[in-house]
Amino acid sequence: MNTQKSSLEFSHFPVMLREVIQILSPKNGGVFVDCTFGGGGYTKALLKFSKTKVIGIDRDPAVINLAKKIEIKFKNRFKFFNLKFSQLDKALKKNADVMIFDLGLSSIQLNNLKRGFSFKSKDRLDMTMGHSNTSAQEVVNNLGEKQLNYIIKILGEENDAKLIARNIVKARSEKKITRVDELVKIIEKSKKKIFPKKINPSTKTFQALRIFVNKEITELIEGIIKATKLLKPGGKILVVSFHSIEDRIVKFFFTSFSKNQTKSSRYFPEDHNLNTVLFERYKNKVIKASRKELFENNPSRSAKLRFATRSNNEFVYPKKLIQKFRKYLDIEASNA
């Protein structure tokens, strides 16, 4: 057996690893669920503490080989499941001490130009993370102009969505859009403003398509709800998010279902009853990468870390979370 590691295995820099370890205290042991295994950065760091057991989850089949190697090395302490985090309950029978979500893409996925996530790619417009129903190519060629506009505007928060959608429909009437660089050209042509050098004009449209293709908002909401249900009282749920929609969801969830929820809650005062308290007091503190890390690892610039501690209260389904973010869930539901 070839036990040499490929260079890809080393190419993901785990975001805020030092902070994550500090918050989760793995030296005390426990069951840790790494819901976004990726390059295995967090998992490997947690397994260095002898009393930990780790369950790794990732929807991407491309990480299975790496996960298998870790399973062999840590036979009774690590198990991997190629599942989406909305399917967490298929991997876990007993309650966990910690649930970790490090959202978005790994650099392994981004740097593999064949996957179509990067603006630099000239390959097929794919953008599927694994266990996805549709590709970005199908989305840009098959959906109507109005729907494309809505997806790009809402999921990408892109001001020029209307023009981009119009130009996509125009371009595909002449020739099917199959490659990433073809889409990039259409977007660049559609952008009204001159863009600062640091931000690629395609960023927001790519974000929208990636979210839609992989139903990332539905996954996040279902994932954090299931994770909370599976957490032991006193257990921690930790989320690293990379864009504002994700962070709004996590902030709303931790704040609105925590013990500091008061009668004057501007979110839903009528729901002030103990049944909806899923977390201990939540400080609403966002942790960001240190200056040193920003220097070493550029993707960490947009990372926001939040964590909450599960209360002793029985789990009650947090319906208000679904209601609050219904708009996003409805858009993704059209990707059947």
Ligand X SMILES: C[S@@+](CC[C@H](N)C(=O)[O-])C[C@H]1O[C@@H](n2cnc3c(N)ncnc32)[C@H](O)[C@@H]1O
For the chain, the C-alpha Rg in angstroms (whole number) is: 20
57 counts as binding ligand X under rule CB under 6 A: yes
Rank residues 31 and 211 by Cβ distance to ligand X and give the closer one: 211
Chosen residue from 19, 158, 219, 280 binding ligand X by CB under 6 A: 219
How many residues at the interface with ligand X, by CB under 6 A? 21
106 counts as binding ligand X under rule CB under 6 A: yes
Nearest approach, Cβ of 34 to ligand X (angstroms)? 7
Nearest approach, Cβ of 129 to ligand X (angstroms)? 5
Rank residues 121 and 261 by Cβ distance to ligand X and give the closer one: 121
Among 103-111, 133-141, 157-165, 271-279, which window interacts with ligand X (CB under 6 A)? Answer: 103-111
d(CA 282, CA 256): 9
Nearest approach, Cβ of 285 to ligand X (angstroms)? 21
Nearest approach, Cβ of 276 to ligand X (angstroms)? 25
The secondary structure of residue 254, as a DSSP letter, is: H
d(CA 82, CA 133): 16
Give per-residue burial for 120-145: e unless 16+ CB within 10 Å, then b. ebebbbbbbbbbbebbbbebbbebee
84 counts as binding ligand X under rule CB under 6 A: yes
Chosen residue from 19, 58, 97, 126 binding ligand X by CB under 6 A: 58
Burial class (CB in 10 A: 0-12, 13-18, 19+), 198: exposed
Strand pairing report for 231-241 and 304-309: antiparallel
d(CA 231, CA 25): 16
Q: Convert residues 163-202 into a mask of x (bound to ligand X by CB under 6 A) and - (unbound).
A: ----------------------------------------
Strand pairing report for 78-81 and 52-57: parallel
Give per-residue burial for 41-59: e unless 16+ CB within 10 Å, then b. bbbbbbbebeebbbbbbbb
The amino acid at residue 124 is R
204 counts as binding ligand X under rule CB under 6 A: no
Q: Between residue 13 and residue 52, which ones bind ligand X under the rule CB under 6 A?
A: 14, 36, 38-42
**Residue in 11, 1, 19, 16 with CA at minimum distance from that of residue 38:** 11
Among 56-64, 135-143, 159-167, 226-234, which window interacts with ligand X (CB under 6 A)? Answer: 56-64
Rank residues 41 and 156 by Cβ distance to ligand X and give the closer one: 41
Rank residues 59 and 310 by Cβ distance to ligand X and give the closer one: 59
Chosen residue from 91, 98, 129, 154 binding ligand X by CB under 6 A: 129
**Are residues 133 and 335 in contact, defined by beta-carbon separation less than 8 angstroms?**
yes
**Residue in 31, 40, 27 with CA at minimum distance from that of residue 71:** 40
Chosen residue from 26, 31, 60, 300 binding ligand X by CB under 6 A: 60
Q: Which residues bind ligand X (CB under 6 A)?
A: 12, 14, 36, 38-42, 57-60, 63, 84-85, 102, 104-106, 129, 219
